[in-house]
């Protein structure tokens, strides 16, 4: 999909699973990259680019490819819902559950029943879209 150089408008607070988180930490340490606190902008968005691009979370991969996460500039290239549905059926929910537990641990999420459904749906869509894109 098209993406404007140096835009980064979608690089805000991004949920990541444990494996994704660990991969980013490892990559950042290996490449001397230091996260920068900059409000709601992702700490790894620096000088107009993603400094951890090779290991960016699934959410970043699929931004602009699922209707739940539209590009604010309208460059969406959404994945065929049939492909997404098939991939969802083949995928597990482990990442979504682990992510939710982490959010509870950090006090970001108050109630399990309040958000788990939405979070699971969003992550399932994101994971499925990524799988579809990798085919």
**Site residues (vs ligand SF4, CB under 6 A):** 3-4, 7-11, 14, 42, 44-45, 50, 52, 56, 60, 63-64, 71-73, 75
Q: Answer whether 91's CB lies under 8 Å from 9's CB.
A: no
End-to-end Cα separation, the chain, in angstroms: 16
What gap in Å lies between CA 14 and CA 12, rounded to an integer?
Answer: 6
What gap in Å lies between CA 124 and CA 117, rounded to an integer?
Answer: 10
Least distance between ligand SF4 and beta carbon 21 (Å): 11
Least distance between ligand SF4 and beta carbon 94 (Å): 21
Closer to ligand SF4 by Cβ: residue 85 or 103: 103
Least distance between ligand SF4 and beta carbon 97 (Å): 22
């Amino acid at each position: 999909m098209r993406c404007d150089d140096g835009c980064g408008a979608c690089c805000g607070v991004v949920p990541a699973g444990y494996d994704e988180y660990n991969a980013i930490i490892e990559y950042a340490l290996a490449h001397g990259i230091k996260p920068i606190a900059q409000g709601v902008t992702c700490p790894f968005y620096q000088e107009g680019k993603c400094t951890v691009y090779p290991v960016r979370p699934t959410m970043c991969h699929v931004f602009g490819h699922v209707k739940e996460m539209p590009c604010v500039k309208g460059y969406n290239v959404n994945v065929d819902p049939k492909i997404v549905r098939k991939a969802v059926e083949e995928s597990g929910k482990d990442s979504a559950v682990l992510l939710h537990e982490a959010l509870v641990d950090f006090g970001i999420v108050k109630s399990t029943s309040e958000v788990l459904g939405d979070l699971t749906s969003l992550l399932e869509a994101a994971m499925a879209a990524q799988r579809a894109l990798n085919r």
